[in-house]
Chain A
Amino acid sequence: MKSILIGGQAGQGVEKASEIVTEALRRIGYYSFNYRDYQSLIRGGHNFNVISFSKEKVFSNEWEYDVILALNDETAEKHKSHLKSGGIVILYKDYPQADEAIKELNLPPISKNSFFVGVLAKTIGMKKEVILSVVKESLGEKQLEIASRGYDAAETVFSIDNGKELNAFIISGSQTLGKAAIDAGLERFIGYPMTPATPVFHYIAAHQNEKLKAVQMENEIAVVHGVIAASYAGKMAMAATSSGGLALMGEACSLAGISETPLVINLAQRTGPATGLPTYTAQADLKMALNIGHGEFPRIVVAPGLPDEIYELTQEAFYLAYKYRTLAIILTDKHVAESQFTIEEFVKPKRKPEKFIIKADKNYAHYKITEDGLSPRAIPGEDDNVVVKATSYEHDEYSNTTEDPEMTVKMNDKRMRKMKTLEKEVMQLEPVKMYGNGSKVIVGWGSTKGAILDALRELDGYSYLQIRYLSPFPSKVVKEVLEKADEIVDVENNVTGQLADIIAEKTGIIVKKKVLKYDARPFSAKEIVEGVKHA
């Protein structure tokens, strides 16, 4: 594996340069993982991307680099101690030709990144026509000359293999989530901007049409009620937010629970508490996702670890939320949301989303008590003789407010019977995944998957249990795997090891060995290998 760090100030086009390089690498047969590190500012500061690439699939980045492309002094200063032996720094000021080219070709200052993309390509030994074709496609004809001059100005240091194009594509977790929601049949996205959930909003807003609309409302509380209302009115709807945003949506999550209205939320976690580190990653909201909303009601929480399964689990979340008329949270984080992956295909969901709307008659009961707990759902606006009433109060089958103790028990039981039915169905999906055959087990959830998979290659005797459904929790299968394990190591991007607590609660198994990282940065494979060995 080789790794390149591209760094500069915000506004210098670092992110774009990294995208061009990863796409060019794909065209010559390399998988890459592109980590994005940026600060909470728009101009200045220090932003960087790390591209780790290999002929084998790669799902995480290294923190040591073969090449550092420094578009400012700070990048070189900050990272040069992480240069691998034989690695090199490409420093902007060693190439005065870049500024000359900008002047001569009458280009905006940001075009400097085109020049250095050329320099970088030559340095690693990429063929000129490969990098130029990607520059042309993503930046336009006007950038070709400057990129070409950059290429010609540099020396080749590494000799990567200019092989056959991979039949794959590069995508971020956020883009995948947006696409998955649209493919699920999404009709209304309602949002309020919050890093790192905003790119999902951007993606969906850019794909609006007659049937799909994206709407910004005044705050997260308005957003979540808007989604609940849209869903009650018969549309497939969702919201995406980050940690503090979900906290604001708490009361409405409970409303979805008792009113039995489908509610799909993507929670893209960031580093807390409170404002924390807004543009950095963490897995610290697992317990919030599992508990948000007062009172007791069924919920679905899925935690995809890589984009291919974001596609799968997002659609299953829609399917389950609409079938079971309750809250579904798609738990991601800044790391999986904003990193870019080279993937070959999406994993198809095991259930196809639909809205489960019935045509009712005048005897319609919105909260019909049934054996499996599921009440068929009608929507308003279809028939003058059908009254569709949803409510936040405890109610009888016909939505009338009740304070009757017997009815209260009946309705609680009905709602929790849905959870039992839901559990059965989820067990038929793929609530956990196992990788490797080792008798020692690494257990994790969400975005640590990439680094764990990369680490597993170097961890003899270990296998990896990925828990994908956190609610309903696949207690039986988790217990079976962990009981047989010679050793269990919990890997999480948080301070307290939240999954270990959930495992203890659900299976009685106490996981003592934990590898926890909470510096707001994701794990590298190396950190996991070291951590697991010393746990």
Chain B
Amino acid sequence: MPELTVNELSTKEPITWCPGCTNFAILTATKQAIAELVNEKAVERKNIVQVTGIGCHAKIFDYLNINGFYSLHGRAIPIGVGLRIANPKLKPIVFAGDGDALAEGVSHYIYACRHNTDMTMVIHDNQVFALTTGQATPTTERGFKGKTTPQGNYENPINPLTLALSSGATFVARTYALDIQKTKEILKEAVKHEGASVVEVMQPCLTFHDTRDFIKQHLYWVEGNNKQSFEEAYKIAAEWDYSLDPKSKIAMGIFYQVKKPTFAEKLGIK
């Protein structure tokens, strides 16, 4: 079988993200990750199903030449769960936004983690509702002035990764969209992991929430951490409160990776 190229994973559809959007980097990393996973025979191309919510992130559906379900806002995750209930050979890669997964669809996020559903949930976290032109999401910092909160966002952010950990996810990672190499490696590990994998991709929105300089300045890549330790993972995940505090330390990398029975295994679905 000839090698699968990144080109074959591309489509001819015109890309409608803003020029320079960090989603381009996620698209590139995703294509590379899928091509390598298929070529390394870690997964068969026919079994990969991308599932998207609604929002800027979801446009990836048109740009990835792979099976897919473009679902509703907040509902990418239950579509992914349904795929696993139907056919455990399928490998869902769920792309969801921060508003999508953590506001509209937060119950599904918690339950997919709780069930340890064997799929990858890629959370495109730009800390803003972008396609609706700039409103606060659950991960937006306090004080953010959006069109629905001209007085400033009045709540502290939800931490998607401590939430994933407390809910039962067995693979938890954070990456930075503009580090394509690192993002690709983490995505590959997430897809290979058998269980609920959460990968939060920090992807600043150039139009409504441009934190590129802030994130670049404050991020660091974890090394030598004990990925089997829930406590350690939780500590690393909780380190940043999603504020723009100049003392912030934003950990990146794989925080947690343990093997537990998956949803399909628990249901006896083969």
Contacts and interface: CB of A to CB of B under 8 A. Distances in A.
A389 interface: yes
B81 A222 contact: yes
B73 to A, nearest CB: 9
A221 B11 CA distance: 31
Contact of B267 (A213, A219, A380, A381): A213
Interface residues of B, number: 40
Residue among B46, B85, B270 having the largest count of chain A Cβ atoms under 10 Å = B85
Interface in A181-236: 187-188, 190, 210, 213, 215, 217-219, 221-222, 225-235
Contacts of B146: none
B111 interface: yes
A460 interface: no
Interface in B20-76: 44-47, 49, 51, 54, 59, 61-62, 65-72, 75
A233 B87 contact: yes
Contacts of A384: 44-46
A388 interface: yes
A230 B46 contact: no
B86 A237 contact: yes
A392 interface: yes
A227 B78 CA distance: 9
Contacts of A210: 270
B223 to A, nearest CB: 37
B80 to A, nearest CB: 7
B107 interface: yes
B31 to A, nearest CB: 14
Contacts of A259: 69-70
B75 A252 contact: yes
Interface string B174-205: 00000000000000000000000000000000
A386 interface: yes
A324 to B, nearest CB: 19
A278 to B, nearest CB: 22
Contact of A392 (B44, B71, B85): B71
B85 A225 contact: no
A478 to B, nearest CB: 35
Interface in A492-507: none
A389 B51 CA distance: 10
B82 interface: yes
B90 interface: yes
Contact of A190 (B72, B79, B85): B85
Contacts of B85: 188, 190, 213, 215, 226, 229-230
A390 interface: yes
Given A230-B85, A234-B86, A387 B270 contact: no
Interface of B: 11, 13, 44-47, 49, 51, 54, 59, 61-62, 65-72, 75, 78-83, 85-87, 89-90, 107-108, 110-111, 267-270
Instruction: Give 3 nearest A-B pairs by CB, closest first.
Output: A229-B82, A226-B82, A233-B86
7 contacts: A210-B270, A215-B267, A218-B108, A229-B82, A387-B67, A387-B68, A401-B13
